[in-house]
Structure 1
Amino acid sequence: MTETNVFSARDIITMNASRPHATHVAVRDGRILGAGSLEDMEQWAPYTLTDDFADKILVPGFVEGHAHAMEGGIWDFPYVGYEDRWDPSGRRWEGAQSLEAVIAALTAAEARLDDAETPLFAWGFDPIYFGEARMNAAQLDSVSTTRPIIVLHSNGHLLNVNSRLMDMAGITADTNVYGVLKDDNGKPTGELMEMAAKYMAYRQTGNPFFGGIKTPSLLRYAESAVNCGVTTATDLFASFNEESLAAYVEASQTPGYALRLMPALNTIEQSIDEGIALAKRALQDNNDRLHHRLCKVMTDGSIQGFTARLKWPGYHNGKPNGLWNLDPDTLGELVLEYHKAGLHLHIHTNGDEASELMLDALEAAQLACPRPDHRHTLQHCQMADASQFRRMAKLGVCVNLFANHIYYWGDQHAAITMGPDRANRMDAAGTAQREGVHFSIHSDAPVTPMAPLFTAWCAVNRQTRTGTVLGPEEQISAEDALYAITLGAAYTLHMDHLVGSIEPGKYADFAVLEDSPLQVSPDAIRDISVWGTISGGAPHKAATRTG
């Protein structure tokens, strides 16, 4: 008979309502036999007792319902974000807290390149922290006029490029492409907003960020997950080219791989019929660590990038409304056809106009082809109001809220993008709960760091970077936040039968913590240290941070 292992802990928070706490959990063949007391474990004898975690807290492995596997490979490129960040190996990357510091970091990175024509890619740029200042092509030309430069904004929806890149792409004052930003004189500034405009740049250099995935990136993605207690994570905007599909299989079958991957097909990269065929073909690759079933729909853009679609009265500072990545009629057709095909949609909606459009589309799809328990999920859904949450509940639509936004950009949303009234209702977990909507919360890594305990802290406290409490009526309890990053997230992914709680038959996936998020004060949840994870019964230790 296969060996049985029993793990002991100071407390095991199971998220199983029939047995919420335990001190021991039995594991065989990578799955949970049962949880309870040491005496309860005798039914599984003979077993090996592991006391390595006897002084720690075990909780279900965290489920990151909105992140991107490029979190593993993006560290191959210079980081120019505002705050310090740590890569999967634990190395600290220093933030750039002024536009001048960004240019200096790019200049240093450019000097490390061997020849004059290799493209310089960088990521993490966030100009909303710099007031009215926007980076332009002339500033990037001071870094290089011979090599193309592409700087990805932290939100992933915008690029800044230099004149060399615009020359290569044929971007001029006469260019009439949605998202090519121009100054008052009609000259392109070098800022490219959303899909159509960004494609003009990537067509010249390739897209190292969203153009596909390779096995080394997926291996490092798993390292990032271990560091923060995540055992199941999405790749929520994936190219399903043959190389990427093969990489998912290779990574998932690598001995010791510590993550259950859930890629989501980028539905706007090909025709509707081709996308549905790709999504169904990928199902044959599924295994215990690879779970294809998700499809990602992109509607609008980013609130802090001013490309999200908002209902009246629009942006607080008077900026024009944002951009659609596909026209609304095409988006409606896409939702209908993927729904009819039985696929599981996760739909990017930042602005409330985008949420309204997609709720209309989902309602039409349900009327045309009723599907019980579809669990289509609105992702981010940051500006939804109470009436929209009521519609979600009625339609069986889930929501995955971007709680980290409250900390990272809450001050800017209150002052610049939304104004104080609407900012108070951003990422409204309290309303979702009151209206009976199944919800989870997320990081959108690498937009913000993957760290579910920090995400839970954001939902519980709703504090901005300056310490302002933004919408206390939308705060939720620590218990509900822990549910949102475990069983709640698993539900939105149709994975709650396999992960999200510690109960018999599920994967033996646990986060190993130094303290209990249910026992520390609410403001200390983000400070809980993560030892690592247990994935399929095998322990994996987090990297030690340096720098």
Structure 2
Amino acid sequence: MPQDHTLGCACCGHAPKLGSTQEDNQKMIDAIKLTLRERFPQAPQQAVIFHGGTIHTMEAPASRTVEALGIANGVIVATGSFEEVKRKMADAGHDANERPLDGRTLMPGLIDSHMHMLGSALNKAWNNVSAFRHGEDTDADSSSSQTLNLDYSLKVLEEWIKAAQNDPDKYLLKDKDGETSWFIGYGVDPSLMTPWGNINLEWLEGSGWESGSGYEKNKHGQTLAILLINASGHLAYANSAAIKRFESDPNTEKLMASALKTGILTELQVSSAMHFVGTCTSTQQKLPQGIADVLQNAVARGITTLFDPSMGVNDKEMELEALRQVAHLGPLRLAGGLFVHTQDDLSYWLENHKPDLDNHLDQRFSIKGIKIISDGSNQGLTGLQRHPYLCAADHPVPNVPTNGKYNYKPKSDLESLVLRALCQGWPTLVHANGDKAIKRVLNAYGKALNPFPHEASSEPAQRRRALRSRLEHASLLDDEDIGRMASMGLSPSFLIGHVGYWGYVFQGTIFGANKAQLLDRCRSALDQCQHISLHSDHFVSPLGPLRMAEQAIYRKMEAAPGSEKPVLNANEVLNHEQALRAVTLDAAWHCHLDHLVGSLEPGKLADLVILKDDPLDKSRENLRDIIVHETWLAGARSYANPATH
């Protein structure tokens, strides 16, 4: 069956290859294990009674606030009054320490239901040129790292690149050719610049380098190659020196030919470029430390579970083994889906793996579904729309139509992947951003989730619906879409940063006011669907479930000028409990982990977070600034804030 995958999936293809040979792969896994053992010594499980603060259970159908919580052997033993919990702990034979909360708030550990572990770690080897960087502050753990830099512009980006030349040992990576050095930047986002900046070959060749050549020498006499990765992961920008290096590789020579005219790389070109620089520079050597940095950032945000929907992108089994080690040796649990691009990919996973959906053991690592990509990024102007982007003429994307592009041609190819996965008992997670892509994906789900003509009863269709399949990002939903999802038992997972960070540019530049009203319709979806979750899509937006909950509660467009930020579609706001549930119990439900985590109930794993302030306090707006004091995984403390301990 012919397939046109010219769009590919750079946000998933962003995952680095571990090595070029089996031996290199094993060396990388060994290096990851060594780094994690050194960075995250495993703490012992404790028997503890927490009391003296606010304890939110976040259980269904409504969260309770209890006086005390008792844990032992990694699980929750009891919740309730202080005396009741003490009695139940004693009856169970646990000699527990009492732990006063001193007025702080204890909740279930937070969950990010969609992020990319290895892609995020890969970025740590490169330079932060995102709209979340403020001056020289590149620390992902800093208080400003979840706040937009409203001064972000082409001029600021140019200054960062120029400044890197003054300290090449810190900011530039040496090429194995010995003649080239690389400035590799991640997170660049022209749509968040003031004004929107068009990054292309003309700009790259004229910004401080020898005009028109792109061969400015750094102070070591090396040619400077520049590669900037768009925050969406679906675009990149390269100067002539970088493109000529790509063309020197027979694997990427033909693929990169068109980029030499524009300096703009799309989808498979982006993936190929990142793989190239990963092998020709010291990027891969920095991967273990990058993984540790991502994990540290996550637990410092109160996260106990990360869900990576695109595992096995490049090295399949070796990548799964690396992620398994990340989960077992790191400070949090890791679940995910297996990335599928073609029927061959799906055949491999079906033959070699089964989904682990209801295991009641302490799962530090588990595989939950199949991930498929239908289109690109709306802020990158590659998501498939029914009508052209309003700004397509002003900000053209080479080789992409003005209404974006679908990843499957014929579209029945995606339908057959969804159908086959579901019939084999695999939950599916389909990325869909553009309104036209969403319609097509829902059509594919309809063919797979509704009863087949030859089925004698509705039971097979009910089994397929019970798999909790998801629509990833689900950026633009109209009433019909939400109704269809509800009728099929589908749930949306929202990249809520589309509202908070990009809402202003979506409304004013990309879509217009009317279409922007369809962005991340959390309340409407929750009213009709069983569950919704919120996610970061990290590296696309920063880690931070409390920030995500805040953006769902207030829906303020943070890129708007001035101190009073306008609200994008107030009808879609969530209340505090709904938003917090979308990063705890409902997120766990999406990840097939709600029988283990997501709420504080006896028998569940003791995944906890202790916060300075109460995020369910309705008078509190800036949830992202609430200080995380401690994070606990299965009854062991995995993070203690150095500023409070």
Instruction: State the TM-score, normalizing by the size of structure 2.
Output: 0.76
- Listed as ranges, the matches of 1:432-447 within 5 Å are 432-447=525-540
Distance 2:471 2:114 in 1: 11
Distance 2:274 2:633 in 1: 37
Distance 1:469 1:81 in 2: 24
Residue of structure 1 equivalent to 2:154: 99
Distance 1:473 1:165 in 2: 47
1:60–1:511: 8 Å Cα contact kept in structure 2?
Answer: yes
CA shift, 1:505, in A, is 1.3
CA shift, 1:520, in A, is 4.2
Secondary structure of 1:333's partner?
helix
Distance 1:181 1:98 in 2: 27
Secondary structure of 2:365's partner?
coil
CA shift, 1:387, in A, is 0.8
Secondary structure of 1:401's partner?
strand
Pick aligned residue for 1:157 from 219, 234, 237:
234
Change (3 A) 1:275 1:502: same
Residue of structure 1 equivalent to 2:25: none
Residue of structure 2 equivalent to 1:230: 303
Residue of structure 2 equivalent to 1:324: 406
CA shift, 1:539, in A, is 2.1
- Listed as ranges, the matches of 1:361-510 within 5 Å are 361-366=444-449, 367-368=451-452, 370=461, 371-465=464-558, 466=560, 467-510=565-608
2:231 equivalent to 1:136: no
Change (3 A) 1:132 1:51: closer
Residue of structure 2 equivalent to 1:56: 104
Change (3 A) 1:152 1:52: farther
Residue of structure 1 equivalent to 2:345: 271
In structure 2, give the amino acid aligned to 1:294: G
Distance 2:613 2:284 in 1: 40
CA shift, 1:458, in A, is 0.6
> Which has the higher mean CA deviation after the structures are superposed, 393-402 or 93-102?
93-102
2:71 equivalent to 1:27: yes
Change (3 A) 1:147 1:275: farther
Distance 1:50 1:449 in 2: 35
> Which has the higher mean CA deviation after the structures are superposed, 221-230 or 267-276?
267-276
Distance 1:476 1:153 in 2: 30
Change (3 A) 1:231 1:19: same
CA shift, 1:325, in A, is 2.8
> Which has the higher mean CA deviation after the structures are superposed, 131-140 or 338-347?
131-140
Residue of structure 1 equivalent to 2:379: 304
- Listed as ranges, the matches of 1:525-540 within 5 Å are 525-540=623-638
Residue of structure 1 equivalent to 2:8: none
2:261 equivalent to 1:188: yes
Change (3 A) 1:521 1:443: same
Change (3 A) 1:528 1:206: closer
Change (3 A) 1:206 1:326: farther
1:72–1:224: 8 Å Cα contact kept in structure 2?
Answer: no
Q: Rg: which structure is higher?
A: 2
- In the TM superposition, what whole-angstrom CA distance separates every residue of 1:475-513 from its partner, at most 9, and x where no partner exists? 111111111111111111111111110001111011211
Pick aligned residue for 1:79 from 128, 144, 158:
128
1:363–1:395: 8 Å Cα contact kept in structure 2?
Answer: yes
> Which has the higher mean CA deviation after the structures are superposed, 392-401 or 286-295?
286-295
- In the TM superposition, what whole-angstrom CA distance separates every residue of 1:502-547 from its partner, at most 9, and x where no partner exists? 00111101121111122241523333222131111122335569xx
In structure 1, give the amino acid aligned to 2:297: S
2:199 equivalent to 1:117: no
2:427 equivalent to 1:344: yes
Distance 1:387 1:209 in 2: 49
2:558 equivalent to 1:515: no
2:247–2:256: 8 Å Cα contact kept in structure 1?
Answer: no
Distance 1:424 1:89 in 2: 32
1:399–1:437: 8 Å Cα contact kept in structure 2?
Answer: no
CA shift, 1:55, in A, is 2.2
CA shift, 1:200, in A, is 4.4
1:390–1:435: 8 Å Cα contact kept in structure 2?
Answer: yes
1:228–1:532: 8 Å Cα contact kept in structure 2?
Answer: no
Instruction: State the TM-score, normalizing by the size of structure 1.
Output: 0.88
Distance 2:639 2:474 in 1: 34
- In the TM superposition, what whole-angstrom CA distance separates every residue of 1:72-100 from its partner, at most 9, and x where no partner exists? 44222101112327645659789672212
Distance 1:29 1:493 in 2: 24
Distance 1:281 1:527 in 2: 37
Change (3 A) 1:177 1:296: farther
CA shift, 1:19, in A, is 6.8
Change (3 A) 1:493 1:43: same
Secondary structure of 2:229's partner?
strand
1:215–1:247: 8 Å Cα contact kept in structure 2?
Answer: no
Distance 2:502 2:335 in 1: 28
Distance 1:321 1:415 in 2: 17
> Which has the higher mean CA deviation after the structures are superposed, 527-536 or 300-309?
527-536
1:461–1:469: 8 Å Cα contact kept in structure 2?
Answer: yes
Distance 2:389 2:103 in 1: 50
CA shift, 1:177, in A, is 9.1
Segments of structure 2 that go 5 or more residues without pairing to the other structure are: 1-44, 216-222, 394-401, 453-459
Secondary structure of 1:400's partner?
strand
Distance 2:295 2:566 in 1: 34
In structure 2, give the amino acid aligned to 1:25: L
- In the TM superposition, what whole-angstrom CA distance separates every residue of 1:206-243 from its partner, at most 9, and x where no partner exists? 48999999554443332111111111111232335243
In structure 1, give the amino acid aligned to 2:621: D
In structure 1, give the amino acid aligned to 2:544: A
Distance 2:513 2:420 in 1: 39
1:180–1:193: 8 Å Cα contact kept in structure 2?
Answer: no
In structure 1, give the amino acid aligned to 2:505: Q
2:107 equivalent to 1:14: no
Distance 2:121 2:64 in 1: 34
CA shift, 1:318, in A, is 4.9
> Which has the higher mean CA deviation after the structures are superposed, 3-12 or 269-278?
269-278
Secondary structure of 2:606's partner?
coil
Distance 1:287 1:399 in 2: 27
Pick aligned residue for 1:250 from 325, 337, 354:
325
1:234–1:261: 8 Å Cα contact kept in structure 2?
Answer: yes
Distance 1:82 1:117 in 2: 28
Residue of structure 1 equivalent to 2:48: 5
1:81–1:154: 8 Å Cα contact kept in structure 2?
Answer: yes
> Which has the higher mean CA deviation after the structures are superposed, 66-75 or 329-338?
66-75
Pick aligned residue for 1:357 from 427, 436, 440:
440
1:77–1:122: 8 Å Cα contact kept in structure 2?
Answer: yes
Segments of structure 1 that go 5 or more residues without pairing to the other structure are: none
2:242 equivalent to 1:201: no
Distance 1:81 1:43 in 2: 51
Distance 1:532 1:494 in 2: 25
Secondary structure of 1:100's partner?
helix
Change (3 A) 1:516 1:476: same
Residue of structure 1 equivalent to 2:88: 43
In structure 2, give the amino acid aligned to 1:321: N
> Which has the higher mean CA deviation after the structures are superposed, 324-333 or 33-42?
324-333
Secondary structure of 1:27's partner?
strand
Distance 2:287 2:246 in 1: 26
Change (3 A) 1:136 1:372: closer
How many matched pairs?
Answer: 532
Distance 1:531 1:82 in 2: 27
Distance 1:179 1:306 in 2: 20
Secondary structure of 2:414's partner?
helix
Change (3 A) 1:452 1:152: same
